[in-house]
Amino acid sequence: MEKFVIKGGKELKGKVRISGSKNASLPILFASILTGKLRLSNVPDLRDITTTCQLLKQMGFDVRKSGNTVEVESGGDIKTEAPYELVKTMRASILCLGPLIAKYGRARVSMPGGCAIGLRPVNLHLKALSKMGADIKIDHGYITAEVNGKLKGCEITFDFPTVGGTENVLMAATLAKGKTIIRNAAKEPEIVDLARALRKAGAEIEGEGTDVIEIRGTSDLKEIDYRVMPDRIEAGTFIAAVGLAGGEVEMEEFPFETLGAVIEKFEEAGLRIEKLDGNRVLVKKVDRLKGTDIITQPYPGFPTDMQAQFMAAMCLADGISVIKETIFENRFMHVLELQRLGANISIEGNTVVVKGTEKLIGAKVTATDLRASASLVIAGLAAENTTEVYRIYHLDRGYEKMEKKLQLLGADIRREKSELPY
């Protein structure tokens, strides 16, 4: 295991480039099952990307990675199974289900794992695919699905706007017979990116980015050649890092249009965020931040994936911040670790109250999930003395070379082997 050792108190200054989006890359990689051939650029070098490539290889696909470009091509014998050994670490692996059924008429996929931040049930995925004609059974931890012939287009209305469910049905519908309409669809930018990639392959899709998406199925799709969008959550995390540590940072490849709610709340807290020419943004901390309230919501609201980082920033703000989590029921596990650093935080149900303190003091803390780990790292940048963040394998699932990027900005952070199973 590994840990980060951070000596806090240094302002961040310089330039950083935002990597490609993990949450956009994963479904597009699985879309290669539909097309048989994919060339995807701007792919971040992450643990989840590696796991996805391993899964595709195990299925029989030829996967080649060069720098931040991944190429996938189908071989002769494709295995339509996603085993537990790979699926257990990554929830996004469920996204192979729809493409496998649509392309090969069958699939056997282990129930997914990933961060322990809530139930996040896949029943909405299964209900929708069943409505399209798939015969689905769950047995001994595996989802088994078959379809006689082709999936059939239909109208699907989700109980709530599920991102994964929307992506699974969107991919499956591209090879289904007839038209599929997804109502109450998720609107996240990563879904828009997936739709654009599929359209490159000849898919007929309309309405991505709205709550109604229409897909006309086709008999065949061609190769996808696509560049992944920048990672809006990484960009938001670096905004929060400047909000805590202070300084002035220019971010390149910044997805400004996708971060409206995040930018608005950090500006409300007193951070200066200026859009420059091209895809560049300048983030500057002039004064101490002030307490600001947020409520996590589906896009275009404030993203749940930025809740932990915003909470960390509010730990050193003037006044009181009220943070309400409406997406996942178990996403406050970072609170206890922030308290170890001296944060004044209390929890009541799905609401957290943060009373800003004068300082944080370094301590040993443990990452419990991907975004919680990011919150602890950026808190450590502002804490006095030394902070050690354990179990950073969580962070490696979603941030490309985070410590190296922070080092370029002047942070005193290093990766070390961890002897303790802390």
What is the CATH number that goes with domain 2-19+230-417? 3.65.10.10
pLDDT tens string 50-59: 999 999 999 9
CATH 3.65.10.10 residue window(s) in the chain: 2-19+230-417, 22-227
Which residues are CB-neighbours of 266 under 8 A, at least 6 positions away? 239, 240, 243, 273, 310, 313
Q: Please identify which residue in the block is written with the tokens 């696909």.
A: 61
Catalytic residues: 115
What's this model's pTM, rounded to 2 decimal places? 0.95
Fold of 22-227: UDP-n-acetylglucosamine1-carboxyvinyl-transferase; Chain (3.65.10)
Which residues are CB-neighbours of 9 under 8 A, at least 6 positions away? 382, 383, 384
pLDDT tens string 286-343: 999 999 999 999 999 999 999 999 999 999 999 999 999 998 766 788 999 999 999 9
Q: What is the rounded (10 degree) CA torsion for 388, 12, 353, 273? A: -150
**Mean pLDDT lowest for which of 19-28, 72-81, 399-408?**
72-81
C-alpha distances (whole Å) from 245 to each of 313, 340, 366, 419 are 9, 18, 20, 28
| CB distance 329 to 119 below 8 Å | yes
Which candidate, 130, 136, 50, places its Cα nearest to that of 93? 50
Q: What residue type is assigned to position 192 of the chain?
A: V
Q: Residue 160 carries which DSSP code?
A: S
